[in-house]
Amino acid sequence: MSTNRYSRSVARVRPVFKMPTIAAVVLFCAVGAPSVAWGFGLWSTDTTSGADRFTDILNRPDDTATWNKTTITYKFDGTFNLAFEHPDLQQQIRWAFSSWDRAFGRSYGQTYSYNRTPGWQPVGDIRSIAVHEIGHVLGLRHPEAAASRDRNWRPGEDGYVASPPIGGEVMQHIFLPGSTNHEPSHDELDGFHYLYSQDLNFQEVTGFDTADILIKGYLAGAQEWAWGEWWGENRVANDNSQGQHITSAEIKFNVQSTPFIGYTAMALNWDYKNNAGKPTRSIRLDTTGTNVAPLSHHSNQGSGNNPHRFLHYSSSGGGPDFKDDVILEWSDPMSGDIPDTERIHVGLKEDVHDWYVRSAEIGHPDGTSTMAAMMSMHVWGERITSETPPPDPPEGGLRQQEDTSNSASGFRIVAPNVTSMVSQLSFAIVTDLNLDLDDLNRETMEMLDALGRLEHVTAFDPMQIEANEDFVVVLEGTQGDLPPELIQQGNYLILNRPDLLIEEVFVYVQSEANQATIGNYALLNESPITAIPEPATLALLGIGGLAMLRRRRK
């Protein structure tokens, strides 16, 4: 017996407006994620009233949908490649599969979830969306919907208990532009372990080979990100209580969502100058925000012939408690230890818009090391939602809740794990210059200055930023628009320069700690890498969509 199942998915996105909506309230409340698991929902064959194919673990524990193979293949369809033609977009999806590939043996770690919901950004993060959809075609459902049927499960002391979700899960049904969620939370790991008793491997196939999971592009409404769908057959013929084997699946990405699906990269570059007479042998950075190796790196090569360029560069993961961290190491300078008289340049470009440096350790030839004040700058946004309930409606009337909220936007300057003296904030609009990681340096800044394009922020006084703290430069919004914590701490500067939010901006700030001076360079607001829905693609997808409708009606 063969049956069809479908999984309507994901992530309804908020429209591009900056005014908060109910969805924003939900996510705002979800920011403080707990350190315990809150449950998962599963696909079942139970179509009885109220069950809606959510598994009743207590009474029908085997009524699930799983693959009965350990190597699951996937393939990019022409409809995906046409719209998402940038090769880095395919790579993001491979990395999404990697997150599930390592799920079985993955240590839970201290962090419940790696969900980040900063302010709105003009992109739906493709890797986060893919991690969610892959979860669907492995047998997982939305925890909120499961909870509404008392079928969202978490392991309790005496077996599973129904439990409401609290947000932050990869499988939650709302996902916002600008957010990131690349790692299964404790809940998805629980669900995965319930469904699978052995490691799963995901393998890409190409050409004429058939695949278990097809990755496609499709057309849908502006607020829908993607769709995961699977087909299966009963494990035991005519016995729905034993669930199904999944035999094939499709994951489709909307090519005309608003904003588009893709990702935003950000580049930071630093020049380090030791003032204590200490040469440098190596540099080690811990960055957080993404769990894959940087898209590119700068290794003190200068224009390519620097005799002190680092010959060795490596990246590695941050460990079970830091699943969104990457550790980078530069070592083995070509002509031996780099003298203190030289400025040393290293830089990174990573695949999220809000990554930053947790720590920067400089290794010296005498075996000692010092922590460096390598600052990070990244775009920042805050939605403030009034928690005041609407006033009672006047008699006989009905009042709409007045929106008392505003958003503020700008960028953060983040200190690593060392208290840093920061001074000299400057920036320039560089949208027309096509700058990249290797251009983020003093020479470019001097060039911009000579052209009269560099703006020095005179209102920015030299200041100390405590270890692991930040300072916010507000480009749009007034003090009343800022979150209370920020106002209380006073670590912000309002510039009222909303024009900078829609331009690529070169930002420079100087920092000092442990007898070293650092020039910090950032390129903010780089255009996201997204789908390119050209007319030919849309026409092709339109035809594909019709074919799909016909098949569903069979």
Question: Which residues make up the interface to Zn ion (CB under 5 A)?
Answer: 9-10
Q: CA-CA distance, 93 to 74, in Å (whole number)? A: 10
What does the H/E/C string look like for 308-329? CCEEEEEEEECCCCCCCEEEEE
Q: Which is nearer to Zn ion, 9 or 407 (CB)?
A: 9
Q: How far is the CB of 226 from Zn ion (least distance, A)?
A: 8
Cα 206 to Cα 91, 211, 254, distances in angstroms: 14, 9, 22
Provide, rounded to whole angstroms, the least separation between the CB of residue 215 and Zn ion.
16
Look at the alpha carbons of 371, 372, 378, 382 in this order and tell me if their dihedral is positive or negative: positive
Residue placing its CB nearer to Zn ion in the complex, 251 or 541: 251
Pick from 459, 477, 387: nearest CA to 119: 477
Segment (H or E) for 411: strand 407-414
Least distance in angstroms from the C-beta of 187 to Zn ion: 14
Q: CA 95 from chain center: how many Å?
A: 12
Residue placing its CB nearer to Zn ion in the complex, 103 or 344:
103
Show the DSSP H helices in 435-499 as ranges: 442-450, 484-489
DSSP three-state, residue 541 = helix
Closer CB to Zn ion, 5 or 343, in the complex: 5
Specify the residue, 10 or 65, whose C-beta has the smaller distance to Zn ion.
10
- If the CB atoms of residues 246 and 500 are measured against Zn ion, the closer one turns out to be 246
Torsion of CA 480, 483, 484, 485, to 10 degrees: -140
**Closer by beta carbon to Zn ion, 146 or else 414:** 146
Smallest distance from Zn ion to CB 48, Å: 23
Strand spans (E) along 87-157: 124-125, 140-141, 153-156
| Separation of alpha carbons 131 and 172, rounded Å | 11
Please list, in sequence order, all residues whose beta carbon lies within 8 angstroms of the beta carbon of residue 269, skipping any fewer than 6 positions away.
298, 345, 346, 347, 348, 437, 438, 440, 441, 521, 522
Shortest distance, CB of residue 429 to Zn ion, whole angstroms?
39
CB of residue 214 to Zn ion, shortest distance in Å: 17
CB of 142 to Zn ion, least distance (A): 5
Shortest CB 9 distance to Zn ion, Å: 4
Q: Which is nearer to Zn ion, 10 or 146 (CB)?
A: 10
